[in-house]
């Protein structure tokens, strides 16, 4: 990266600005050097780019502190903590998906999974990026689904808790505590603590939220290829206007939850 600084003087100010934006994370590794290079430039617009490095450094420091707080919350319950969350309780179609993620709560700042949060607060692109990071860095993770047929057969409440239990049954290591988002897991014999708004407080729950969301979205995007009229690629089974209109026009398809459609189908008869 140092060699690249030799060409700074020959670049247009706009090119230097683009270079800094595209390489901020690398520039931070040699912060003092690059602050000197940019700060010594004769052009005021280039010297001003020093603030970009400082802002990025501050942003990263703040993000480390935010995520560290999530890990520290989990650390109150032990060194190995599992978080569970579900996605898909309310849609009219598709499965409900639960995920369990185990993290080491004594992780160093350098190994924290930054930017984790409630999956609903993240862009699709960011969720996809974090999905890969979580799978690489978590001590363990598991995903469990129950289909629309399961939901119609035994009810959404049972399925909601079963995707928690099912994902935890697949975790191959013993954990100190299971943290669940919002409410305790019914008929679970292990140690469990519910956390209100857990996906914004607990690192493990936030990771489980992301894993479950990305997995289910991918399922619905795949199903969209077979039933494109319902808009599953955008509404992922929720009752958007496009989805409702298609139901009224075409009726349900094989992945609809018939127990959720009574009032909608009654209006079409």
Name the binding residues for a divalent metal cation.
85-86, 181
* Structure-token pair, residue 247: 């139901």
Q: Report yes or no: 93 and 148 within 8 Å, Cβ to Cβ.
A: yes
Tell me which DSSP letter residue 86 carries. Answer: E
Query: In the structure encoding, which two tokens stand for residue 118, read together?
Result: 């409630």
Q: For the residues of 96-162, what is the DSSP string, one character each?
A: EEEEEEEEETT--GGG--TT---GGGS-HHHHHHHHHHHHHHSSEEEEEEE-HHHHHHH-HHHHHHH
Helix-helix angle 203-224:124-137, to 10 degrees: 120
Task: Select from 159, 176, 164, 198 the least CA-distant residue to 102.
Answer: 176
SS3 188: coil
Question: Which has the closest alpha carbon to 102: 68, 135, 69?
Answer: 135
Alpha-carbon span 104 to 149, nearest angstrom: 36
Residues placed in the known binding site: 85-86, 181
Say if CB 113 and CB 211 are below 8 A apart: no
């Amino acid at each position: 990266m140092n060699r690249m600084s030799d060409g700074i003087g020959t670049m247009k100010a706009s090119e230097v600005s683009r270079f800094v934006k595209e390489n901020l994370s690398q520039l931070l590794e040699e912060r003092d050097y690059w602050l000197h290079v940019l700060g010594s430039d004769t052009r005021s617009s280039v010297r001003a780019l020093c603030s970009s490095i400082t802002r990025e450094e501050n942003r990263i420091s703040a993000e480390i502190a935010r995520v560290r707080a999530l890990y520290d919350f989990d650390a109150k319950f032990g060194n190995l903590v599992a978080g569970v969350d579900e996605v898909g309780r309310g849609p009219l179609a598709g499965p409900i998906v639960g995920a369990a993620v185990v993290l080491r709560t004594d992780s160093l700042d350098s190994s924290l999974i930054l930017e984790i949060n409630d999956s609903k607060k993240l862009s699709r692109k960011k969720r996809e990026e974090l999905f890969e990071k979580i799978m690489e860095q978590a001590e363990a993770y598991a995903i469990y689904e129950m289909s629309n047929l399961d939901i119609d057969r035994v009810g959404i409440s049972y399925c909601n808790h079963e995707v928690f239990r099912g994902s935890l049954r697949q975790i191959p290591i013993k954990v100190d505590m299971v943290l669940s988002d919002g409410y305790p897991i019914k008929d679970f014999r292990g140690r469990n603590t519910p956390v209100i708004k857990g996906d914004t407080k607990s690192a493990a729950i936030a990771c489980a939220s992301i894993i479950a969301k990305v997995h289910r979205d991918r399922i619905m995007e795949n199903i969209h290829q077979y039933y494109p009229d319902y808009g599953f690629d955008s509404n992922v089974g929720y009752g958007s206007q496009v989805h409702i209109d298609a139901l009224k026009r075409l009726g349900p398809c094989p992945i609809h939850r018939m127990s959720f459609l009574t009032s909608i189908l009654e209006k079409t008869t």
